[in-house]
């Protein structure tokens, strides 16, 4: 059964901080976003679909939003990698995110027995991923 992610809602957050209304372009990051930038954006109404991608046992976080996809990076701009989902769950849960979609991008076919395959699109990965809770 495929789970179709519909986005996030953040409990107990005031998305109009002191009457400040931000343009959508101000809320949507580029192709990279740091934890601090994500925290700020979430506090101002940013509501991404969180993808936790597993590739050969290493996990990365991607945020899908209206203007594209952003990868969670460190201050130097390097992609944050994790050896498990526990730290991801704790860090994103602290920000108020409740769930995400765990996806796999390891293989697209079985070359050992000659089964052809195609690389999955980002939408296919999200559609066929597994929902995971952050808190």
Question: Could you tell me the residue ranges of all domains in the chain?
Answer: 29-106+115-133
- What is the structure's pLDDT at 23? 41
Give 42-72 pLDDT, tens digit per residue. 999 999 999 999 988 899 999 999 889 999 9
Contact 15, 8 (CB under 8 A): no
Q: Which segments of 4-85 does DSSP mark as H helices, in order?
A: 24-27, 35-43
The architecture (CATH level 2) of 29-106+115-133 comes to: 3-Layer(aba) Sandwich (3.40)
pTM given for the model: 0.73
Residue 53's H or E segment, with its range, is strand 49-55
Residue 120 clears pLDDT 50, i.e. is over it: yes
The pLDDT of 93-97, averaged and rounded, is 96
Phi, psi of 3 (to 5 degrees): -105, 125
Q: How many angstroms separate the CA atoms of 85 and 43, rounded?
A: 23
């Amino acid at each position: 059964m495929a789970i179709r992610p519909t986005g996030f809602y953040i409990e107990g957050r005031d998305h109009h901080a002191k009457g400040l209304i931000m343009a959508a372009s101000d809320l949507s990051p580029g192709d990279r976003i740091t934890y601090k930038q994500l925290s700020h954006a979430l506090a101002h109404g940013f509501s991404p679909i969180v993808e936790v991608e597993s590739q050969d046992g290493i996990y990365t976080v991607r945020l899908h939003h209206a203007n594209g996809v952003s990868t969670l990076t460190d201050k130097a701009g390097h992609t944050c990698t994790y050896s498990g989902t526990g730290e991801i769950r704790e860090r994103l849960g602290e920000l108020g995110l409740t769930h995400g979609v765990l996806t796999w991008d390891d293989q697209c076919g079985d070359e050992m027995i000659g089964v052809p395959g195609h690389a999955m699109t980002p939408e296919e990965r999200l559609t066929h991923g597994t929902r995971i809770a952050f808190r």
